[in-house]
Amino acid sequence: MPETCDLETDVVVVGYGGAGAAAAITAHDNGARVTLLEKMPTPGGNTAVSGGNIAVPRNPEAFALYLKTICFKTVEDEIIDTFVEGLARVPAWLRGLGGELRLSPSPPTFPEVPGAGDLDALTVAEKDTAYKGTVNVALWRLLAEQVEKRGIRVMLSTPAKELVRKQGGDIAGVMAESEGKDIAVVARRGVILTCGGFENDDAMKWDYLTPKGVQFCGSPGNTGDGIRMVQKVGAGLWHMTGQKCKIAFKAPGYEAAFAINFLAPSFIFVDQYGERFADEVSTDPHLWWIPTSEFNCKRFEYSRVPFYAVFDEEVARKGPLCFTKSGYVLVVDQYKWSSDNSQEIESGWIIRADSIAELAERISAPAEALENTIARYNAHCRRGDDSDFGRPRERLRVIEGPPYYAIQLWPALLNTSGGSRRDKESRVLDPYGNPVPRLYAAGEFGSIWGFRYQKSTSVSEALIFGQIAGRNAAAASPLAL
């Protein structure tokens, strides 16, 4: 314990994103004094720059079976059961906060897996006309408004550095940094870690993730702080190889990458040698780390990191290549991608060439290989059968030219899953499965998705286990200090 206390509260929540907001709101509503610490000058974490979608199963029992299968024994069944039970309560909780909800059909990521069935995606409707049709920030705005409405203390630009442990083992607070000074924040009932993953810690990414050299689309503040803090108090870790990874363009001058979306089908992906390597349209957008992870042993390199999209005038003029509904560069950096990509072509982000040979030179690929790849793909399109990768017939379209276009792409993290092991009560566990007293975790930090990921479940996980952590921390008896 520190000799002096700079701030005393009942519950300290470390990380002010979706999970942190849910934990803080719930702890407050259960009678606790709550302090939120956020390392970044702007709150929101990855929730604020996400699509904000929440999966709602039409058959919860079947959905639980499905999730247990895709988790592949990396998480206990009772945790999945708790998650699915929590999904049923999320709509009412959000409506209780004042949210207007909308539902749209959302197919399962792995439709052939037992239990896969019809899903809906729930989102909070945007009330502010200034945001309608642009990025989806309605969920985050709702959560932040409710934190403010309750008068919960929020300390921005205040990174937590170390957990404080009382003699006997109870977690009693955190050491943090605020305005250049170390401060001791004592929590009489509990500490909740909702501090995100390690998308922006290069050493951890190289240690735990494949492929090597991935970029990120989310908050630059996620640097594995919580992992280091819990290791020091003896917590167990899990799901350190788990990730959700889109395809993205990394622009000079921006920390985060731009998630990319193609609005017309006349495009392909090629590796650094001009060879096509995947069905470009059927891979789930969160799983692009898988087809890009192949390691070329002969050349001793990841030949698909980075890779290139090659496309034609139709794609270039159909609409922005940038996914416009979420992303740090759009929400926080406020970048406006041009509607016809002309600004990005002019800046050189998108490469334009008058021949395939010229395009190959611009992307440093063998001209003959790229010409053969495009010719073979176009032949598949004319025949209506992609015999190489099985791309659906309705998504096959000839790449016409000249001109021809290319953009360099990377696998880019939406978030990681690694962090402290936890149970269905959001309690942090040591390597032997014993709870670390008065320490809780939720959200991306130690996410339950350790093997494969069903889309639209990250935000819901943050809300469900954030509430559980907040409720349990508030219910703890106060520590005698």
Q: What is the CATH number of the domain that holds 20?
A: 3.50.50.60
- State whether 402 and 423 are in the same domain: no
Instruction: Give the whole-angstrom CA distance, residue 226 versus residue 244.
Output: 19
Instruction: Give the whole-angstrom CA distance, residue 126 versus residue 132.
Output: 6
- List all residues 6 or more positions away from 244 whose beta carbon is below 8 Å from its beta carbon: 286, 287, 413, 414, 415, 417, 449, 453, 458
Tell me the one-letter amino acid at 176: A
In terms of Cα–Cα distance, which of 373, 347, 358, 175 is closest to 267? 373
Which CATH number do you get for residue 345?
3.90.700.10
Contact 192, 470 (CB under 8 A): yes
- State whether 95 and 34 are in the same domain: yes
- State whether 171 and 307 are in the same domain: no
Note the pLDDT of residue 133. Answer: 47
The last residue of a domain, from among 413, 431, 457:
413
- State whether 168 and 278 are in the same domain: no
Mean of per-residue pLDDT scores for the chain:
95
- State whether 283 and 406 are in the same domain: yes
Radius of gyration for the alpha carbons in the chain, expressed in angstroms and rounded: 23
Instruction: Determine the structural domain holding residue 329 and report its residue range.
Output: 244-413
Note the pLDDT of residue 326. Answer: 84
- State whether 252 and 232 are in the same domain: no
- List all residues 6 or more positions away from 382 whose beta carbon is below 8 Å from its beta carbon: 398
Overall number of domains in the chain: 2
- State whether 365 and 386 are in the same domain: yes
Instruction: Give the whole-angstrom CA distance, residue 392 versus residue 264.
Output: 14
- State whether 233 and 249 are in the same domain: no
Note the pLDDT of residue 69. Answer: 96
Name the stretches of the chain with pLDDT < 50: 131-134
Write down the pTM of the prediction: 0.95
DSSP state at residue 49: G
Instruction: Pinpoint the alpha helices (H) of 319-366.
Output: 328-331, 342-347, 356-362
18 part of a folded domain: yes
Instruction: Give the whole-angstrom CA distance, residue 152 versus residue 345.
Output: 46
In terms of Cα–Cα distance, which of 424, 426, 380, 420 is closest to 399? 380
In order, the DSSP letters of 117-162 are: --EEEEEEPP--TTTTTS---HHHHHHHHHHHHTT-EEESS--EEE
- State whether 35 and 68 are in the same domain: yes
1 part of a folded domain: no
182: which 2 tokens?
């170390």
The last residue of a domain, from among 360, 389, 413:
413
The last residue of a domain, from among 361, 391, 413:
413
